[in-house]
């Protein structure tokens, strides 16, 4: 896997945070120069389920998590520097045991 980006240039950032699960999961929306949408976020320890409209790629920037895709029986571990894809019109459960998991979500 290629290295994850450390910065984005020429973007628009929505300053209003997306707040989920009582502030345990936070993200900000970034619109890339080509119009593509991403979110940059933090996940505090816990277990959270998210639904998807469009397909997504979740890149883990820092920390670690475990993920179970909807319909799957296997839970997989994702440390920093790895990524997983989620189909559209689906969902996933993400679990963080300790620390903060930082991610970049790209809408495919």
Output the domain CATH number for residue 39: 2.60.120.10
Which pTM value belongs to this model? Answer: 0.91
The domain of 99 spans 12-107
Does the residue 5 lie in any domain?
A: no
Total count of domains within the chain? 1
Does the residue 44 lie in any domain?
A: yes
**In the prediction, which pLDDT does 24 show?**
98
Kindly tell me if the per-residue pLDDT of 4 is higher than 90.
no
Does the residue 3 lie in any domain?
A: no
Which of 27, 32, 33 is CA-nearest to residue 15? 27
Does the residue 98 lie in any domain?
A: yes
Does the residue 2 lie in any domain?
A: no
**In the prediction, which pLDDT does 18 show?**
96
The string of pLDDT tens digits covering residues 6-27 is: 788 899 999 999 999 999 999 9
Which 3 state secondary structure label does DSSP give 85? strand
The beta strands (E) that lie in the chain are given as 12-13, 18-20, 25-31, 37-43, 46-51, 56-62, 64-69, 76-79, 83-86, 91-96, 101-107
Given a contact cutoff of 8 angstroms between Cβ atoms, the answer to whether 56 and 101 are in contact is: no
Q: Which two tokens stand for residue 41?
A: 């976020």
The string of pLDDT tens digits covering residues 31-88 is: 999 999 999 999 999 999 999 999 999 999 999 999 999 999 999 999 999 999 999 9
Does the residue 72 lie in any domain?
A: yes
């Amino acid at each position: 896997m290629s290295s994850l980006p450390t910065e984005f240039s020429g973007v628009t950032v929505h300053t209003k945070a997306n707040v989920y699960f009582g502030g345990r999961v936070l993200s900000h929306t970034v619109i890339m120069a080509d119009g593509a949408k991403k979110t940059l976020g933090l996940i505090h320890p816990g277990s959270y389920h998210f639904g998807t409209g469009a397909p997504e790629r979740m890149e883990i920037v820092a920390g670690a998590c475990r993920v179970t895709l909807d319909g799957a029986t296997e839970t997989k571990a994702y440390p920093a520097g790895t990524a997983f894809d989620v189909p559209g019109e689906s969902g996933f459960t993400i679990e963080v045991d300790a620390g903060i998991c930082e991610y970049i979500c790209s809408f495919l």
